[in-house]
């Protein structure tokens, strides 16, 4: 006797070809990875660290330069989106060492402010500024706030290391000492504190750079001044692809 029952329908469904071709594992690119890192660290922008040196006016007061830069930072954050500025400003008798941590746009505006004073030829607190190095996309800040400290150490003209060392050796010592000083302040200065004070030459004398090093770097032509740097920063990049090259070159009749 023939069976009149219906065959049970198969529970397996044929998947469309498009779904088979799509990757089953979600894939992220490097940009998404960096954005996720910034989100987890509560940062809206990538952080950068910039080392500046400059000559100063005679008898520059700490209060005067501190108030000026604080006004610049506040003005920039009001007009442009970016990260807050942290870092350290060391005021020597005739020069400064300035370490700044912030987003690229904020650092860009700080340099523009300096250039604006130079173009107007107005009396400015600092002059002959040089950019020693810029560290891009730093993983974390070395400074929790922005501090100013006056270095009251007399200039030593004897045993000048700049006469016995190469530029590479001096730059290596410069970066090593500044990072050691930053780590020392990171461990010793609590968040919300006023800062390291003006007795760094007593608390951490081995971590302070002598002013003769700052003066030597200011004279080196290998380092860019803000004008040269900004010209390169704003210069568009034109890349000629092989497909754009036509031979023979077109000519007009």
Model pTM score: 0.74
- For 33-55, the pLDDT digits (tens) are 666 665 555 557 889 999 999 99
- For 138-169, the pLDDT digits (tens) are 988 888 889 999 987 655 544 566 777 888 99
Domain boundaries, the chain: 42-234
| Per-residue pLDDT, 31 | 65
CB 211 within 8 A of CB 150: no
CATH 3.30.70.360, applies to 42-234: no
| Separation of alpha carbons 19 and 9, rounded Å | 23
Write phi, then psi, for 179 (nearest 5 degrees): -70, -35
């Amino acid at each position: 006797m023939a069976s009149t029952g219906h065959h049970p329908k198969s529970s397996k469904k044929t998947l469309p070809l498009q779904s088979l071709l799509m990757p089953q594992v979600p894939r992220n690119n490097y940009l998404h990875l960096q954005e996720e890192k910034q989100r987890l660290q509560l940062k809206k922008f990538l952080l950068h660290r910039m080392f500046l040196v400059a000559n100063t006016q005679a008898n520059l007061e700490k209060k005067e330069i501190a108030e000026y830069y604080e006004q610049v930072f506040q003005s920039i954050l009001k007009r442009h989106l970016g990260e807050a500025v942290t870092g350290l400003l060391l005021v020597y008798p005739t020069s400064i060492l300035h370490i700044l941590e912030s987003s690229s746009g904020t650092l860009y505006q700080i340099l523009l402010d300096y250039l604006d004073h130079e173009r107007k030829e107005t009396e400015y607190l600092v002059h002959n500024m040089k950019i020693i190095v810029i560290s891009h996309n730093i993983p974390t800040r070395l400074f929790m706030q922005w501090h100013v400290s006056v270095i009251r150490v007399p200039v030593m003209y004897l045993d000048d290391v700049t006469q016995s060392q190469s530029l590479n050796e001096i730059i290596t010592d410069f970066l090593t000492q500044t990072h050691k000083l930053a780590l020392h302040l990171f461990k010793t200065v609590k968040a919300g504190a006023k800062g390291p004070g003006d007795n760094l030459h007593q608390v951490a004398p081995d971590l302070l750079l002598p002013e003769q090093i700052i003066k030597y770097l200011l004279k080196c032509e290998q380092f860019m001044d803000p004008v040269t740097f900004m010209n390169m920063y704003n210069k568009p990049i034109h890349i000629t692809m092989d497909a754009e090259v036509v031979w023979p070159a077109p000519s007009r009749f």
